[in-house]
Structure 1
């Protein structure tokens, strides 16, 4: 007797994906506003307009929800796409301008995600691993950019590894947050200042 195959309804799958998206969006907002420790699955369910049972069935536990948020944030940041374009640039100023624009897009579009992660770090079951997962692709992008800058003329005044560290200082999420959230700068002003600071520090009068 042939085994019956489960029927996969496209409409049902679409509805499930939409529910999952609503839950993750609600969780991101709550984590970014209140902090990971002060948000419960029941809070997320209420904000998403579903039951706690649906939250668990759709995205899992609170820790799993944070993992999903990080994964979605990395994808939405479009780091690989931006780096592919950056590697085609042949002058240091063009490279650093592209890095400023790209990291600004990631920081601005994913600001709530970054806040959710930042507030989770002190209380998460494994904050160090969480931060490493959240920043891995961005750190790699800074290293790749530094090595690309060292193939161009003029070269940065620092070694490639040190250049990568400085790029992370300026263009990483902390740099953007310090100017925009803490100091109240506009994103446009922050982009200009970070770009020009990097150019001046790495090349001086070159």
Structure 2
């Protein structure tokens, strides 16, 4: 009988994780369709098929919004670096710059496709809610750190133009890559301008490679 308790504990943990994922997936759908202000915990609970009390365990709304975005973008909720996620860690471990980009660009394009609507909700909410704005600022800071890491990895993996940059040049390149590969770009080109996802991914690959081979970001001096 002594072995039953850990087994049951594991089952409870798995059930709790499944419930949390269902709640966050529901939150992503509700926030995207209704917006942050109009969405309620009751709406999320109904969509997830759980009680409001179960949702509150993972709330308040701003925490649900952030976790829903992170889950939708990277497959896992949490305030870790994107580079620590298994899929990105595998890409980062590749030993050639071009191979890294060939794997990373489709991943980012697909993630942007999943999160474009939710990102629009996030940024709109930040304009009206100071607490959400602070959460967004932290997320953007982490995003920039991820791209700074990416620039360093590209230099290490043989991108000669990147390796030749000084610290200021690498910061500019990280800024430019963060801008080009952002969900906002997907929203403008695909959602607003009617590009296909395939065309967007093709364009993204060309834009990223142009920035990398140019060896700097937007600066011309």
TM-score band, normalised by the shorter chain?
0.7 to 0.9
TM-score by length of 1: 0.75
Q: CA–CA distance in 1 between the matches of 2:173 and 2:202?
A: 19
TM-score by length of 2: 0.71
Structure label with greater radius of gyration: 1
> Equivalent of 2:105, from 75, 88, 100?
100
Q: Which moved more, 1:186-195 or 1:99-108?
A: 99-108
**1:143 and 1:164 in contact (8 A); partners too:** yes
Q: CA–CA distance in 2 between the matches of 1:199 and 1:9?
A: 49
Count of residues in Structure 1 that have an aligned counterpart in Structure 2:
197
Q: CA–CA distance in 1 between the matches of 2:212 and 2:12?
A: 54
SS across alignment from 2:127: coil
Residue aligning to 1:203: 213
C-alpha distance 179-83 of structure 1, shift in aligned 2 (>3 A): farther
Deviation of 1:74 after TM superposition, in Å, equals 6.1
Q: Which moved more, 1:8-17 or 1:179-188?
A: 8-17
CA RMSD of aligned residues (A): 3.2
Pairs within 5 Å for 1:32-181:
32-56=32-56, 58-73=57-72, 75-76=74-75, 79-80=83-84, 81-86=87-92, 88-91=94-97, 93-151=98-156, 152-156=158-162, 159-181=169-191
Residue aligning to 2:198: 188
Q: CA–CA distance in 1 between the matches of 2:112 and 2:83?
A: 11
Q: Which moved more, 1:159-168 or 1:117-126?
A: 117-126
**More RCO (CA 8 Å, sep 6+):** 1
Q: CA–CA distance in 1 between the matches of 2:94 and 2:45?
A: 45
**1:70 and 1:133 in contact (8 A); partners too:** no
What 5-or-longer segments of structure 2 have no aligned partner? 77-81, 215-221
Q: CA–CA distance in 1 between the matches of 2:101 and 2:182?
A: 13
